[in-house]
Amino acid sequence: MAKKVKISVIGGPDFYMPADESIGYPEMWEKLKAYLTKQIDQVLPDRPDLIVLTEMCDLPREFKRDRMKGFIKGFTDSRGNDNIRFFGRIASENKCNISFSTVTPGKGDYYMNTTILLNRDGGVAGHYDKYYVTYIENDWNIRYGNQTPLISLDFGKAACAICFDLNFDDLRERYKELKPDLIIFSSMFHGGLMQQVWANECRAYFAGAIAHQRPSSILSPLGETLACSTDYMNYATAAINLDYALVHLKDQARLNELKKAYGAGITIYDPCHLGYFMISSEMPGVSAADMLKESGTITYDEYIAQSRLLRAEPGKLGESDDRFFIHND
């Protein structure tokens, strides 16, 4: 059955508020809250179910690199967890989920780069610590995360990645096994085609909020861009449907029969070139999985798994005869 969700991402080259070194940390945080409120206000008219913000979104633009370690400690210690209260109030007042990335205290004398997900009541739904921090973050006393949680929101399960994480195949492979509905990516770099790779290989929607670069985007499980920020708007919003499945082209005839049966109740989308389709249920009471079962159709991943098993059967492997390649004049 249709599971429509509206997602907004906010980022851009000038996302961060400049730091004012002439004022103290408490006043700096108050100014930053006002700045972030204006950023978030841009997407609230769309009534999103989820708002995704950039990496370390609640810190001002960095001081000189060699001073960041002291700044992070001073600013975050002064602010405490008022950032959770601040974003939580916005979430509860607007009945939306919010994802924001920040610096959190560790269990020892160190810090973590953390994405925090808040539910519609403003409570903490879960958090993710950046799995692969950079050497610069090491210098700032920020340590590596060691968990890859799936965080439950009211519309589905989300996996998180932060900036440098996008470069690592082993992290993506973990998420492929966990099968999230959505990947939330907060970052200071874009990641280029790796965004598409993550979305497509994890069979998940992808919401990327990018600072310093553009665009911030929402991608489909096919790796296609559904909405993105521009030179003129540093935010984007897209409505997605989480009741979907990917089906190999060999079952096109079965899908045609489903289209005849359900009409506008099923969307069948061909992205071209990939050799499989994306189907979505647009009706209550019947899911995409129900439709596949009814028609005897398997998913694309099931088809690939069957192909691997077939190759592994005894007697299926062979090789060309070397005599064929001998050229006789």
DSSP state string for 47-92: --SEEE--TTTTSPSP--GGGHHHHHHHHHHHHTTHHHHHHHHHHH
237 lies in the same domain as 253: no
Domain containing 269 equals 244-312
SS3 state at 181: coil
pLDDT higher than threshold 90 for residue 178: yes
List residues bridging with 7 in a β-sheet.
Answer: 50, 238
84 lies in the same domain as 169: yes
Q: HSE on the CB side for 262, CA within 13 Å?
A: 26
pLDDT for residue 329: 65
Angle, vertex CA 48, rays to CA 44 and CA 51, nearest 5: 85
- Residue after which a domain boundary falls, among 241, 262, 293: 241
**Token match 């082209």: residue?**
249
* Chain segment 208-226, per-residue pLDDT in tens: 999 988 999 999 999 999 9
289 lies in the same domain as 257: yes
**Residue 168 included in any domain:** yes
Q: Give 210: exposed, middle or buried? Use CB within 10 Å, 0-12, 13-18, 19+.
A: buried
218 lies in the same domain as 295: no
Q: Average pLDDT of 230-244?
A: 97
* Chain segment 45-67, per-residue pLDDT in tens: 999 999 999 999 999 886 556 67
pLDDT higher than threshold 90 for residue 303: yes
**Residue 273 included in any domain:** yes
Question: 53 with 10: CB under 8 angstroms?
Answer: yes
136 lies in the same domain as 264: no
pLDDT-based confidence at residue 14 (cuts at 50, 70, 90): confident
Whether pTM exceeds 0.75: yes
- Residue after which a domain boundary falls, among 207, 241, 275: 241
* Chain segment 111-157, per-residue pLDDT in tens: 999 999 999 999 999 999 999 999 999 999 999 999 999 999 999 99
Q: Phi and psi of 229, rounded to 5°?
A: -70, 165
**Residue 192 included in any domain:** yes
pLDDT-based confidence at residue 1 (cuts at 50, 70, 90): confident
pLDDT higher than threshold 90 for residue 328: no
CATH of the domain at 93: 3.60.110.10
* Chain segment 97-113, per-residue pLDDT in tens: 999 999 999 999 999 99
pLDDT for residue 66: 67
pLDDT higher than threshold 80 for residue 183: yes
258 lies in the same domain as 217: no
**Residue 317 included in any domain:** no
Overall domain count for the chain: 2
Residue 28's CB is within 10 A of a number of other CB atoms, namely: 21
pLDDT-based confidence at residue 170 (cuts at 50, 70, 90): very high
Give me the helices (H) in the chain, please: 25-41, 68-79, 82-94, 135-139, 169-178, 193-201, 252-262, 288-295, 300-312
**Token match 């085609």: residue?**
193
SS3 state at 281: strand
145 lies in the same domain as 269: no
Distance (Å, whole) CA 285 – CA 278: 19
SS3 state at 24: coil
**Residue 76 included in any domain:** yes
Angle, vertex CA 321, rays to CA 319 and CA 323, nearest 5: 160
Q: Which of 8-17, 64-73, 256-265 has the highest mean pLDDT?
A: 256-265
pLDDT higher than threshold 90 for residue 36: yes
Q: What percent of the chain has pLDDT over 70?
A: 98
**Residue 319 included in any domain:** no
Does the N-terminal peptide bond of residue 215 adopt cis geometry, omega within 30 degrees of 0?
yes
58 lies in the same domain as 186: yes
Closest CA to 242 of 126, 153, 140: 153
301 lies in the same domain as 222: no
**Per mean pLDDT, which range of 58-72, 172-186, 204-218, 265-279 is the poorest?**
58-72
106 lies in the same domain as 155: yes
Question: 94 with 46: CB under 8 angstroms?
Answer: no
**Residue 161 included in any domain:** yes
Report how far Cα 315 is from the mean position of its chain's Cα atoms.
Answer: 43
pLDDT higher than threshold 80 for residue 162: yes
pLDDT-based confidence at residue 278 (cuts at 50, 70, 90): very high
206 lies in the same domain as 271: no
**Residue 323 included in any domain:** no
Q: HSE on the CB side for 300, CA within 13 Å?
A: 19
268 lies in the same domain as 290: yes
Distance (Å, whole) CA 106 – CA 92: 27
Q: Average pLDDT of 239-249?
A: 97
